[in-house]
Chains A and B, each alone.
Chain A
């Protein structure tokens, strides 16, 4: 098991590279999905309001 982590002394660099990649890609994905979710909710919230308004206008 220690072999796996040390990898002939270059382990820290390898795990560092994989770790940085994982963290950056996960953060980007989470941020993108969350931002999209909140934007989609915002659209849903705004739509009915607009309809009411146009109903009033028609009335």
Chain B
């Protein structure tokens, strides 16, 4: 195994992606949750195409957000419990780098499949044709913020037993701006309105999350490792 910084960084990413898609990993579970939860809505609100089309962007985004959330509570916990997080913290990469690698791995392994599956759910939810492009683009642009913000919550609750509920309490309010901008963008495209401004704000929130996410996660992890 290479000991260069990038070698360790990509090593962590590769290992986490492999774990996420191995038996009982979070990747398959989050994707299944995403598909099943969205199909509940036509049963819940009724199958009228207009109603579904109206709520489609919000439903797909909210369920993607929840699917991301349920996969987050084990982001650091497994490594924390078996002690490998201590080893990683001592590697030349530093905790901030480790957090960045694990966040990247979470996004690639768990969130990217949701983005790929989203057009299929768009069909089931009768999403207006002109909104598909914006929806996929908004997911690509906005979901990194979900992983980054979620990572902060996961790091804060890493030593809490059954921290999942606490994690959602901490993270969901912080997801609100991302959700507002993202659904605003998709709704705008569905209504033939220019979506560039909400998309710019969505990108800005992802960048802001990127600026603080790995650093804050590392600070929070250090608390539990002390």
Is there direct touching of A and B in the complex, by C-beta distance under 8 Å? no
Interface residue ranges, B against A (CB under 8 Å): none
